[in-house]
Amino acid sequence: MVTVHDVAELSGVSIATVSRTLRAPHRVSDATRTRVLKAVEQLGYRPNRAASSLRRGRTGAIALVVPDIENPYFASLTKGAQASSRARGYGLVVVDTTESAEIEAEEIRALGSQVDGMIIASSRLSDDALAEVAASTTCVLINRSLPDAATPTVTIDEASGARAAIGHLAGLGHRRIAYVGGPESSWSEGRRWSGLLTAASEHDGVSAVHVGSVTPDARGGHAAAAAALEHDATAVIAYNDLVALGMLARWAELGVRVPDDVSLVGFDNTFVAELSSPPLTSVGADLREFGETAVSLLLDRIDGSTPPPSPVPTTMDITVRGSTAAPAR
Amino acid sequence: MVTVHDVAELSGVSIATVSRTLRAPHRVSDATRTRVLKAVEQLGYRPNRAASSLRRGRTGAIALVVPDIENPYFASLTKGAQASSRARGYGLVVVDTTESAEIEAEEIRALGSQVDGMIIASSRLSDDALAEVAASTTCVLINRSLPDAATPTVTIDEASGARAAIGHLAGLGHRRIAYVGGPESSWSEGRRWSGLLTAASEHDGVSAVHVGSVTPDARGGHAAAAAALEHDATAVIAYNDLVALGMLARWAELGVRVPDDVSLVGFDNTFVAELSSPPLTSVGADLREFGETAVSLLLDRIDGSTPPPSPVPTTMDITVRGSTAAPAR
DNA sequence: CTGTTAGCGCATTCAC
DNA sequence: GTGAATGCGCTAACAG
């Protein structure tokens, strides 16, 4: 292993100057800087992160905690966070908690001394447990608010998505719209449903009906497909794209045609929405950008340069694809 | 921050004993061990990773480098690697190189001092560049072999997948089978196509025809959908599930019915194969297990307990869903 | 502008 | 079985 001492010796300066050249280049003379950098290059010197972290009390890394990296929603979020943290010179540790509150708690504890801060997405922790985490670490929450309201949080404006979905369907002529919800414990679920109710009330004659809560995957949609049709609705909105695709597949088996017999709208607009036939109309936010926002907020907090302004919720837009059309009658 | 000194003071022992209690419990007496552990618990002491790393010369973390975390293939791989490394007490740093050889090289360099080893999946690096990495770090390659053959590698037995696909289709009565390939530069592409050719030759009267190379995503499949039908084939095998779904969607627009008019088989058997209608028959390996295998191999190398036996390639199995049936004629 | 010095928190000798 | 002492590689005072 090559250390500052080796570089110092080769370039004829002290180890302090080597360190300075790397951390604060403007504090050394041009001549020595070039000399030191040449030696660094020549020896292939890379500062030891562990030593640097120990001395500085900061690791230069942040963590992103997600419930399930296989979920396209979190995959996109991760992608954005990754790009953004690299751009700011930070490493990113991604942790998949497999939807388990226990593992989440454990990982967060273990992470404590390894990173300078963390982003916790869609936490499965209780308010109390999460508040404790927020109190003892520098963190940013995604899609989850805490009563105290002191913890920085980035959220998606679910109401804007609901408005876009309802507006699109109402514009096509739909009057009765069914909503297949996600887990009742989910933070998004509550916001999506209340957003839909509000949006429906803003259109004359349009009503929304909640037809059950399912697990937020294709299996859930599959199971709810039949029930969703039992309410005279001409359009169905699903908790997320996966649920929507599950319904779509089940309806195909049942001979129900989309969008001829019923229109279908998903939430999140993940890449899977483009995969089905017909492709799925879906409302969603730019998740990569969302991930970037969270990283920025966290790093602003860590670097402490500016007091982080509480960011405005990211709005959702609708992407109209083939699964929606005017109702038959 | 609570350190060994705090724990030592509270439990009335020296810092050496505290450290020993944690790292080599059997080397302290029962009495002191319980006393120290109580103090650890009481103070909420967590060893500082940076200090520990500096002293021991190992970080307790490994890295997984993937081209694209949004790709379900790598997401599943990551999931398995994550679970397995956690189980063995190692942290996992996931890096997404966005399919860029440049970023990959840069990240690998930066990672060097931060992890004890790395797993490089589907590297975009040149043989030379990759060989250099392999020479200077402890690493394990996934889906990519190096001429020198000295670098530990875990691979998937693509030939077994090809055999399963051809066998299934031949069994249904298909004789002429088209293959829509992926990027020619892809390591898997070559193995898949040659495996298909070999497998076809093992069945009387069965032939496989290569009908072009596309980008390995739904867009690629969309573009190749029409061309795939121009060869009198009654069944089509796609480079991967995404390509298959792209074709499926395009065919739906074209009025081509699956599996009535043509059968379709994907590669990788990622979760998206379950999402389409009809759901996609696909050959694939257990990717989570694959990720676990890679982690095990790497950690065995690092811990150096046993000389890592070169693992056998993971075999692929076929999952038959609704996209395949006997040919019409 | 540059060098000397003193630890950061921990794991490991080596005595006892 | 335990304690005292050393230094891992680096950065941040402080002097010069």
Residue-wise DSSP of B15-38: HHHHHHHHH-GGGS-HHHHHHHHH
Question: Which nucleotides of strand D come closer than 7 angstroms to any CB of the protein?
Answer: 1-5, 7-13
Residues A47 and A55: beta-carbon distance below 8 Å: no
Enclosing H/E stretch for B294: helix B287-303
Q: What angle do the packed helices A241-254 and A218-228 form, to 10 degrees?
A: 50
pLDDT tens, position by position, A148-195: 877 899 999 999 999 999 999 999 999 999 999 998 888 899 999 999
| Mean pLDDT in residue range B13-37 | 93
Question: In terms of DSSP H, where are the helices of B88-204?
Answer: 101-111, 127-136, 158-172, 187-201
Distance of CA B123 to the CA centre of its chain: 11
Mean pLDDT over all residues of chain A?
Answer: 93
What CATH code is assigned to B4-155+287-315?
3.40.50.2300
User: What pLDDT score was predicted for residue B286?
Assistant: 95
How far apart CA B191 and CA B188 sit, in angstroms, is 5
H and E: helices and strands count for chain A:
12, 13
Return the ∠ at Cα B143 (arms to B303 and B203), rounded to 5°.
130
pLDDT at residue B309 tops 80: no
| Mean pLDDT in residue range B144-173 | 92
How far apart CA B197 and CA A150 sit, in angstroms, is 63
User: What pLDDT score was predicted for residue B115?
Assistant: 94
Peptide bond connecting B278 to the previous residue in cis, omega within 30 degrees of 0: yes
Q: Do B49 and A114 touch (CB under 8 A)?
A: yes
pLDDT at residue B150 tops 90: no
The second-level CATH assignment, the architecture, of B158-284 is 3-Layer(aba) Sandwich (3.40)
Determine whether the distance from the CB of B23 to the nearest atom of strand C is below 7 Å: yes
Predicted confidence band of residue B112 (pLDDT cuts 50, 70, 90):
confident
- Going by their DSSP bridges, the two strands B176-181 and B207-213 should be labelled as parallel
**Cβ atoms within 10 Å, residue B232:** 9
Residues B10 and B39: beta-carbon distance below 8 Å: yes
User: What pLDDT score was predicted for residue A308?
Assistant: 67
Residue B54: both structure tokens together = 């500096």
Strands (E), B55-104: 61-66, 91-96
User: What pLDDT score was predicted for residue B279?
Assistant: 93
- B15, closest nucleotide (Cα–C1'): D3
Which SS3 state, helix, strand or coil, does residue B316 take? coil
Do A4-155+287-315 and A158-284 share a fold? yes
pLDDT at residue A307 tops 70: no
Residues A45 and A9: beta-carbon distance below 8 Å: no
The residues, any chain, with a CB within 8 Å of residue B18's CB and separated by 6 or more, are B4, B7, B8, B11, B36, B40
How far apart CA B154 and CA B119 sit, in angstroms, is 10
Q: Is the dihedral of CA B291, B297, B303, B306 positive or negative?
A: positive
User: What pLDDT score was predicted for residue B306?
Assistant: 67
User: What pLDDT score was predicted for residue A112?
Assistant: 82
* B114: chain A residues, CB-CB within 8 Å: 49, 61, 91
Residues A240 and A182: beta-carbon distance below 8 Å: yes
pLDDT at residue A304 tops 80: no
pLDDT at residue B164 tops 90: yes
Mean pLDDT over all residues of chain B?
Answer: 93
| Mean pLDDT in residue range B36-47 | 93
The single residue listed with the structure tokens 């649920």 is A243
| Mean pLDDT in residue range A232-246 | 96
> Residue B98's closest CA among B67, B143, B63?
B67
- Going by their DSSP bridges, the two strands A176-181 and A156-157 should be labelled as unpaired
The single residue listed with the structure tokens 């009658």 is A329
Predicted confidence band of residue A310 (pLDDT cuts 50, 70, 90):
confident
Determine whether the distance from the CB of B86 to the nearest atom of strand C is below 7 Å: no
> Stated in angstroms, how far is A5 CA from C1 C1'?
20
> Stated in angstroms, how far is B32 CA from D1 C1'?
10
Longest pairwise C-alpha distance within chain A: 86
The residues, any chain, with a CB within 8 Å of residue B171's CB and separated by 6 or more, are none
**Cβ atoms within 10 Å, residue A126:** 11
The single residue listed with the structure tokens 């957003």 is A195
pLDDT at residue B307 tops 70: no
pLDDT tens, position by position, A18-29: 999 999 999 999
Q: How far is B122 from chain A (nearest CA, A)?
A: 17
> Residue A159's closest CA among A295, A285, A15?
A285
> Stated in angstroms, how far is A53 CA from C13 C1'?
25
Any idea where the domains of chain A sit in the sequence? 4-155+287-315, 158-284
How far apart CA B3 and CA B245 sit, in angstroms, is 55
pLDDT at residue B305 tops 70: no
Q: How far is B137 from chain A (nearest CA, A)?
A: 12
pLDDT at residue B148 tops 90: no
φ, ψ for residue B328 (rounded to 5)? Answer: -60, -45
- The residue of chain B nearest to residue A277, with distances taken between CA atoms, is B249
| Single-letter amino acid code for the residue at B265 | V
- The residue of chain A nearest to residue B81, with distances taken between CA atoms, is A96
The single residue listed with the structure tokens 């009025």 is B255
User: What pLDDT score was predicted for residue A149?
Assistant: 74
Predicted confidence band of residue B329 (pLDDT cuts 50, 70, 90):
low
The residues, any chain, with a CB within 8 Å of residue A239's CB and separated by 6 or more, are A179, A180, A181, A182, A188, A189, A192, A214, A216, A220, A267
How far apart CA A173 and CA A205 sit, in angstroms, is 10
Q: How far is B46 from chain A (nearest CA, A)?
A: 8
Distance of CA B314 to the CA centre of its chain: 11
pLDDT tens, position by position, B258-273: 999 999 999 999 999 9
How far apart CA B65 and CA B120 sit, in angstroms, is 5
User: What pLDDT score was predicted for residue A329?
Assistant: 65
Return the minimum-mean-pLDDT range out of A17-21, B87-91, B223-227.
B87-91
φ, ψ for residue A251 (rounded to 5)? Answer: -65, -40
Distance of CA A170 to the CA centre of its chain: 29
Which SS3 state, helix, strand or coil, does residue B40 take? helix
| Mean pLDDT in residue range B245-259 | 94
pLDDT tens, position by position, B113-142: 889 999 999 999 999 999 999 998 999 999
| Mean pLDDT in residue range A267-293 | 94
> Residue A151's closest CA among A286, A287, A298?
A298
Q: Do B277 and A276 touch (CB under 8 A)?
A: yes
| Mean pLDDT in residue range B143-171 | 92
> Residue B272's closest CA among B256, B290, B289, B284?
B284
pLDDT at residue A210 tops 90: yes
DSSP, res A280: P
**Cβ atoms within 10 Å, residue A149:** 8
| Mean pLDDT in residue range A84-106 | 92
User: What pLDDT score was predicted for residue A261?
Assistant: 96
Strand partners of residue B319: B282
As a whole number of Å, the CA-based R_g of chain A is: 25
The residues, any chain, with a CB within 8 Å of residue B242's CB and separated by 6 or more, are A275, B72, B216, B217, B218, B220, B221, B270, B272
Residues B327 and B172: beta-carbon distance below 8 Å: yes
How far apart CA A3 and CA A29 sit, in angstroms, is 22
